[in-house]
Amino acid sequence: MWGMVVRVRGVEDARRMREELRDERHGEAAVTPAVAAPTGAGAAGVVAEGGDRIELDLDSFTRAVSDLDRLHAVLTELLARSDREMDQPLGDGKGPVALNMRKAFGLRGDVVGGGVRAALRSYVKELTELREALHQVGETHRAEDEQVERMLRRL
């Protein structure tokens, strides 16, 4: 993102600048992975029959948590990138509403209050808490399985 004010002198100048920006950004775009539509069946093979137990396919669960970790990393990088780009000052225009527009844009994109970045940070925090809980569930189930295996070998 440019940190200076640039004057556009006409349509051809704007097209030239657009091409320059396109060339600069060509290699920087983050690759967003494809995410399948929800099936309603869950992705971890959880079966709750009989009401007194839950069976968990630990391999499937681990893969789902790994996918969530990878997507969390992508989201975190995109948020960090937006922080770097949004921290660049916007030059005020010459019109009578330029200052008010800059303030409004700053509020909507800001990290405080009701800004977009504040909402994204809140979502990332919730996602982090969910990931930590899922990691704990996986470790608990793994420890339970290992304990049962040890007990069965003693028989």
Write down the pLDDT at residue 1.
42
Q: Please indicate, yes or no, if residue 26 is contained in any of the structural domains.
A: no
**Domain range holding 61?**
45-154
**Is 6 within the bounds of a domain?**
no
- Cβ atoms of residues 33 and 39 within 8 Å: no
**In the beta sheet, which residues pair with residue 55?**
47
116 within 8 A of 109, measured Cβ to Cβ: yes
Is there a domain that residue 28 lies in? Answer: no
Could you tell me if residue 139 is inside a domain? yes
In a domain, 112, yes or no: yes
Distances, alpha carbon 39 to alpha carbons 10, 87, 105, 117, 143, in Å: 51, 39, 38, 30, 30
CA–CA gap between residue 12 and residue 92 (Å, rounded):
23
Please indicate, yes or no, if residue 129 is contained in any of the structural domains.
yes
**How far does CA 123 lie from the centroid of its chain?**
8
On whether residue 93 sits in a domain, the answer given is yes
Do the Cβ atoms of 75 and 151 come closer than 8 Å? no
Q: Do 123 and 79 form a contact (C-beta atoms < 8 A)?
A: no
Whether this prediction's pTM lies above 0.75 is answered by no
Residue 17: inside a domain, yes or no? no
pLDDT by residue for the chain (155 residues), tens only, comes to 444 566 777 888 788 888 887 766 655 556 666 766 666 655 555 555 666 666 778 888 889 899 999 999 988 888 888 778 777 665 666 777 776 766 666 656 665 666 777 778 888 889 899 999 999 988 998 898 899 889 999 88
Instruction: Give the count of domains, the chain.
Output: 1
